[in-house]
Amino acid sequence: MEMLLKNKRNAPNQKRLAWAAFVLLSIILLALPFAIDGLFGRGWVRVLDFALLYIMLALGLNIVVGYAGLLDLGYVAFFAVGAYCYALLGSPQFGIHLPFWIVLPLGALLACLFGILLGAPTLRLRGDYLAIVTLGFGEIIRIFLNNLNAPINITNGPQGISMIDSIHLGEFSLGRTQEIFGITFPAVHLHYYLFLIFTLLVIFVSLRLQDSRIGRAWAAIREDEIAAAAMGINTRNIKLLAFAMGATFGGLAGGLFAGFQGFVSPESFGLTESIMILCMVVLGGMGNIGGVVLGGILLIVIPELTRHLAGTAQQALLGKTVIDPESLRMLMFGLALILIMLWRPAGLWPSSQRRRELTAPAPPSV
């Protein structure tokens, strides 16, 4: 009884602390681009924009890999579908210039359809076999986009599509500097706020899915698909839903990427990108939304830091460049990944279930 009364008395304090933390986090997120611009330069705000895009991609892949336990190595294909849908319907390529609020949902829906098309023939595959099929799917999409310039030029082939319309919200363009309430907002700052809104939306949907009946069904399939089917779960539909939801987030990020860059080409959607997104999920903490966000930030920021260090470190220590900075950068990046995974095999911020699995004592030998 005393514990109940104590918890009841502490409830208002906990609510006030939660609201204070929420307000503080909101202020930090709103002021972050200006702080980074002032301290490190505007180029790092652009890096922050890409970090938000890749967080969206990692959260989409987390549904497939982290929630449902389906290894997908071709996830970047959905990113490409969303980007090219935006590019084709918002550029001089076909002379079509549809508004942003129409093109972006179309790209997400088209990527969702491709997710279902990928998932349908792979329902009986697991593990390595599923990984090989999804890898092939991603490469097929990239090669298809690279060669769809003859006999009818649709994607402009390896040259890509340029002069893509910037993101417009009505008459308000995010492609140029705007002044709002006397405050000047450069284009990269405006894109940051838009990407932040969509990232928070994706996080909200992911949280709702995780705690829903569908999320529990995904977890059951991840742990033991045969047992899940025996318990009455329609594994076929649930796995298709995982592919569809993950692909939708990928298509959404692809459309935002095309509007932000103003240019897309097949080179941006290679296998390396899929592996990088998978590393964000595994490194951050598979199945844990906070861990995936942390992994997305680190794997965008660390390569940029090593890009700077690779050249300056050699000049400071040796007085000349001995190893190609790009090669040294990737070597440093790979070494950092190895050390982190040796130190934290469950990820930097693993889910509570994953942490229990790794720390549980081994069963006694018979």
Query: How confident is the model at residue 7, as a pLDDT?
Result: 57
Confidence of residue 303 (pLDDT cuts 50, 70, 90): confident
Is the separation of the CB atoms in 107 and 250 below 8 Å? no
Which residues, at least 6 apart from 233, have a Cβ–Cβ distance to it below 8 Å?
217, 220, 221
Say what the pLDDT of residue 200 is: 96
pLDDT beyond 60 at 167? yes
Hey, which of 101-110, 126-135, 218-227 has the most confident mean pLDDT? 101-110
184 burial via Cβ count (<10 Å: 0-12, 13-18, 19+): exposed
Residue 336 — very low, low, confident or very high, per pLDDT cuts 50/70/90? confident
Model pLDDT, residue 265:
94
Confidence of residue 143 (pLDDT cuts 50, 70, 90): very high
pLDDT at 70 over 70: yes
Which stretch of 5-9, 17-21, 83-87, 123-127 has the lowest confidence by average pLDDT? Answer: 5-9
CA–CA separation, 258 and 188 (whole Å): 14
- pLDDT beyond 70 at 197: yes
What number is the average pLDDT over the span 177-189?
90
Report the distance separating Cα 9 and Cα 213, nearest Å.
Answer: 33
Strands (E) located in 188-284: none
pLDDT at 229 over 60: yes
| The predicted structure's pLDDT at residue 357 | 60
User: In this structure, what are the phi and psi dihedrals at residue 269, rounded to the nearest 5 degrees?
Assistant: -130, 45
